[in-house]
Structure 1
Amino acid sequence: MRSARRRAPDPEGRAGGRSGTAARVRRRETAVRAAFLAPAGVFLLLFLGPPLADNVTTSLRDTTAVAALGDEAPFTGLDNHLRLFASEEFRRAAATTALYTAGSLAAQFTAGLALALFFHRRFPLGRSVRALMLLPWLMPLVATGTVWRWMLDADDGVVNEVLRALHLVPAGVPWLTGTHEALWSVVLVNTWVGIPFDTALLYAGLQAIPPQVHEAARLDGAGPVPLFRYITWPLLRPTAGVVLVLGAVYTLRAPDVVLVLTGGGPAGATRTLAALAHEQAYAQFDVGRAAATGNVLLLVSLAAALLHLRAVRRARHL
């Protein structure tokens, strides 16, 4: 009788209990993520929010040297942005920025990956050499640009002296004064500055790969090329994405190398958007248009970061 009175199991109740537990777990995970993100969010809101809002406000006003003499610069809406997009110097600077960024990223990443793979092997004094590799990145950009400007001087630069001594060129190459050579010279210097950063991050990514994975692949007969193609590179791809995004953002926003080496010349051949914003603000005293150029750089950097996050999310679901 007792066994007959027992109730039959309720599968829907069990399912409801499991779904309720899963919902509580998801809420707990969301709360933990929010707790970890809260300090960063507060920092961004307090220290980056006001300058960003001020830059947007400035770009919507006719903030020039003449207007600054009055009480308040007149509100002009999107006039600064429209004048910026209609100008020939903006289109040329945008094209120069694309070439400058693409060339720098390709060279930095290729050299950084090669050096990271080299330092991943153990050899005597490896740590000391890795520490010395960071010197170009740790040096102030003004000092770096000044030294390279002296080295690339067309008349007395050490680079041209060596090339002439080796009979590779009959006369000095106008590294910084030629309209075709100047841009690639600036790319070279920016690559030299960025290689240590890429090497350090890619080396850390290689160190995070479990050695057992490579050992198992070698036991299966994988050579160096298949090992890198099918094992190392897929596991290193998330780190590589971060390196490329950070390199792109840094190259887009930093005008130091360009300003010290060429000042944006000759004839605007090396004027990037960051250098153009600097020129608009401090040479033309058109702060409103310089702020509009800064907004363009911010949107491009944000788009690069969002594309990277989307690619990472898509890779996780594959």
Structure 2
Amino acid sequence: MTTSTLPARPEAPARAPRPRGAGRRRFHQWLFVLPALVYLLVFFGYPLVRNVLMSFQEYTPRTYFTGEAPFNGLDNWHRVFENDLFGDALWQTILFTVGSLVGQFTIGLALAVFFSRRFHLSGVIRAVLLLPWLVPMVVSAVVWRRIMDEDHGVLNSFLETLHLSGDGVPWLSSPSVALLSAILVNIWIGVPFNMVILYGGLQEIPRDLYEAAALDGASPWRTFRSVTLPMLRPVVTVVLVLGFMSTIKILDLILALTGGGPADSTQTLGTLTYQLSFLQLDFGQGAVVGNVLILISAVFAVLYLRVNRADLGNGGTR
């Protein structure tokens, strides 16, 4: 009778001893991060939580004297969503945001490609084109309000000189034209930002790829479509997401340019929040619209992070 012996069970590898001072280093690392965490909690976390709570409260000017802000459930949300102006403002916000992003990106990309071919005084011209981005938005809006004045504006005088308009275009006084005017002004303001970021991305594309495309006989359009755009994808994503974040919440430009009029034709979610909170003094409803803006921005931020993570997982496009 034979007895089979089981193989000896391998011993588990000895666990590496924890290096001395690791806990202290981890503590020091958290000390460096702590100021940023405190800043985020105080200046972003607390206002966000207060805004969410306010949307479920009856928060009026009387609250500042009595300290009482009773919860009213979803009453604020129902009143906002049943307001016809909210639907119009949401639609006009979409039109304003999409029109601005398309115009800013298209013109900014065209200028970036143009200036990538360096020529005499190109640096000076790029610096001049940055001025709309550097000027405060309220100042730009006031200047364009004078330019687009129907009776005495420079723009209508220029169009009359070219015999393109006889009676003058009601840029800011017609409900059918005012939103388009606001979009054009915002495009003028945002083009320099798009141009600078996209120009920097173009400078990072290896020249060897263009030489290889030229040797293969690719046309300029084919080279742009097959080489430039794929290599610019990470930069394009950043430009569009940042442009979206800054455009969807614009308030000062529209207030200074049209004030939300005429006939509420340029009301957006940003101006509606201002109107409900500081003109009608209904802070609860204003908080509701603000939360809608935050939710929309958060959705696009998550989409951006997912796209960026997918690019990193695939090794990037470069």
Partner of 2:185 in structure 1? 189
Partner of 2:3 in structure 1? none
Whole-angstrom CA distance in 2 between matches of 1:106 and 1:301: 18
Whole-angstrom CA distance in 2 between matches of 1:38 and 1:231: 43
- CA gap 1:41/1:230 in 2 versus in 1, 3 angstroms: farther
Whole-angstrom CA distance in 2 between matches of 1:245 and 1:78: 31
Instruction: Give the counterpart letter for 1:186 in structure 2.
Output: A
Q: TM-score, normalised by structure 2?
A: 0.85
Whole-angstrom CA distance in 2 between matches of 1:186 and 1:180: 12
Instruction: Using the TM superposition, give the Cα deviation of residue 274 of structure 1 relative to its aligned residue in structure 2, in angstroms.
Output: 0.2
Among residues 32, 46, 49, which one is paired with 1:50 in the alignment?
Answer: 46
Instruction: Give the counterpart letter for 2:223 in structure 1.
Output: L
Whole-angstrom CA distance in 1 between matches of 2:46 and 2:231: 39
Partner of 1:167 in structure 2? 163
Among residues 84, 95, 100, which one is paired with 2:91 in the alignment?
Answer: 95
Q: Are residue 301 (structure 1) and residue 297 (structure 2) matched?
A: yes
Instruction: Give the counterpart letter for 2:110 in structure 1.
Output: A
Q: For each residue in 1:210-256, what CA deviation from the matched residue of structure 2 results, as whole angstroms up to 9, or x when unmatched?
A: 22222222222222111111111001011111111111110111211
User: Quick check: 243-252 or 72-81, which moved more?
Assistant: 72-81
Q: Are residue 83 (structure 1) and residue 72 (structure 2) matched?
A: no
Partner of 1:252 in structure 2? 248
Partner of 1:271 in structure 2? 267
Instruction: Give the counterpart letter for 1:248 in structure 2.
Output: F
Q: TM-score, normalised by structure 1?
A: 0.85
Whole-angstrom CA distance in 2 between matches of 1:193 and 1:97: 17
Instruction: Using the TM superposition, give the Cα deviation of residue 315 of structure 1 relative to its aligned residue in structure 2, in angstroms.
Output: 4.3
Whole-angstrom CA distance in 2 between matches of 1:219 and 1:39: 54
Q: Are residue 285 (structure 1) and residue 281 (structure 2) matched?
A: yes
User: Quick check: 73-82 or 96-105, which moved more?
Assistant: 73-82
Instruction: Using the TM superposition, give the Cα deviation of residue 40 of structure 1 relative to its aligned residue in structure 2, in angstroms.
Output: 5.4
Instruction: Give the counterpart letter for 1:172 in structure 2.
Output: G
Q: For each residue in 1:153-199, what CA deviation from the matched residue of structure 2 results, as whole angstroms up to 9, or x when unmatched?
A: 01100111111122211201110010110000000000000000111
Instruction: Give the counterpart letter for 1:156 in structure 2.
Output: H
Among residues 149, 154, 175, which one is paired with 2:150 in the alignment?
Answer: 154
Partner of 2:7 in structure 1? none
- CA gap 1:127/1:41 in 2 versus in 1, 3 angstroms: farther
Q: Are residue 200 (structure 1) and residue 196 (structure 2) matched?
A: yes
Percent of aligned pairs with the same amino acid: 48
More helix by share: 1
Whole-angstrom CA distance in 2 between matches of 1:39 and 1:245: 27
Instruction: Using the TM superposition, give the Cα deviation of residue 93 of structure 1 relative to its aligned residue in structure 2, in angstroms.
Output: 0.4
Instruction: Using the TM superposition, give the Cα deviation of residue 66 of structure 1 relative to its aligned residue in structure 2, in angstroms.
Output: 3.8
Whole-angstrom CA distance in 2 between matches of 1:128 and 1:252: 32
Instruction: Using the TM superposition, give the Cα deviation of residue 296 of structure 1 relative to its aligned residue in structure 2, in angstroms.
Output: 0.5
Q: For each residue in 1:41-64, what CA deviation from the matched residue of structure 2 results, as whole angstroms up to 9, or x when unmatched?
A: 554234211221222222221112
Q: Are residue 131 (structure 1) and residue 127 (structure 2) matched?
A: yes
Whole-angstrom CA distance in 2 between matches of 1:302 and 1:117: 32
Please show how residues 231-246 of structure 1 align to structure 2 within 5 Å: 231-246=227-242
Q: For each residue in 1:2-26, what CA deviation from the matched residue of structure 2 results, as whole angstroms up to 9, or x when unmatched?
A: xxxxxxxxxx99xx99xx99xxxxx
- Structure 2, unaligned runs of 5 or more: 1-9, 17-25
Partner of 2:138 in structure 1? 142
Instruction: Give the counterpart letter for 1:92 in structure 2.
Output: D
Q: What is the CA RMSD across the aligned residues, in angstroms?
A: 2.4
